[in-house]
Amino acid sequence: MNLHTALKEKFSEVVKKNGWESEEIQVRAKTLTPEEAIGNPEEKDYPIITGRERIVEADFRGAKGHAFTDMFGNFNGTINEVLSMELKNNFRRAIFIATINAVLRHAGLINGNIHCKDQTPRECSHILVEKIKSDYGNPKIALVGFQPRMAEALAQNFQLRITDLDKKNIGTEKYGVVIQDPSCTQENIDWGDLLVVTGSTAVNDTMKEFIGSKPVLFYGVTVAGPAFLLGVPNFCPLGT
């Protein structure tokens, strides 16, 4: 069974338990602008501002759910339509993940799954460092996905390797660390003691690669619902 099949089964259980599967409840998803998603932080190097990703936002009975994706657009349909959707590309997977997040938020099963704004990403990175020191000691960290404030804080405190999908980042040096392409991911997994992994992997269909091999900490709003359903750690202390 692949990861998205497992997510569909677990999500379906929540939907059926609440009797939502037969109702014509609308799930609307729209693409947020960078300002809507992250506000106006002092630093302008966040992928949501400089890169190719945007946030898709789903709305279920007034509850919002977010998902980062590089393939975005709008969607309007029922939960059953989302559950029956063939998850063949990042757009469809983003709709699926954002819907999970919105429905689980409405059900009271998750919270803090709306992206933080303005200066809070820097504060988040400091909280991350303290959490890792408290829970894991002084690990070698493989960071998957270049989140600039996290990379900056982690590089100042731990041995760090970074991989990223964005070609503009690959080969550049950030905070004393050269960003590597995804072909180095397995090597970095083998090297590291702790994997700190972007929740966007739930959308780009690589999340399963990081579960089970080493201690892992997924970060961000995208993975809030999937992490809950799969029982894996998620770090997003300042989401709203």
Q: What is the pLDDT of residues 65-122, one digit of tens each?
A: 989 888 878 888 889 999 999 999 999 999 999 999 999 999 999 988 887 766 788 8
Sequence length of the chain is: 240
- Whether the per-residue pLDDT at 218 is higher than 80: the answer is yes
The range of the structural domain enclosing residue 169 comes to 120-221
Residues 7 and 102 in one domain: yes
Q: Looking at 71, 106, 141, which one is the last position of a domain?
A: 106
Residues 130 and 206 in one domain: yes
Residues 135 and 77 in one domain: no
| C-beta separation of 232 from 209 below 8 A | no
- Whether the per-residue pLDDT at 126 is higher than 50: the answer is yes
Structural domain includes residue 226: no
pLDDT for 38 equals 47
Residues 95 and 134 in one domain: no
Structural domain includes residue 231: no
Give the CATH number, domain containing residue 216.
3.40.50.11590
Residues 102 and 124 in one domain: no
**Across 58-67, 118-127, 133-142, 229-238, least confident range:** 118-127
User: Biggest alpha carbon distance in the chain?
Assistant: 54
Q: What is the dihedral of CA 6, 7, 12, 13, to 10 degrees?
A: 70
Which tokens go with 171? 């080969």
Which tokens go with 197? 């992994």
pLDDT for 97 equals 95
| C-beta separation of 76 from 59 below 8 A | no
Residues 6 or more apart in contact with residue 46 via CB below 8 angstroms = 34, 38, 121, 147, 148
Q: Whole-angstrom Cα distance, residue 25 to residue 226? A: 21
Structural domain includes residue 111: no
Q: Whole-angstrom Cα distance, residue 41 to residue 124? A: 13
Q: What's the number of domains the chain is made of?
A: 2
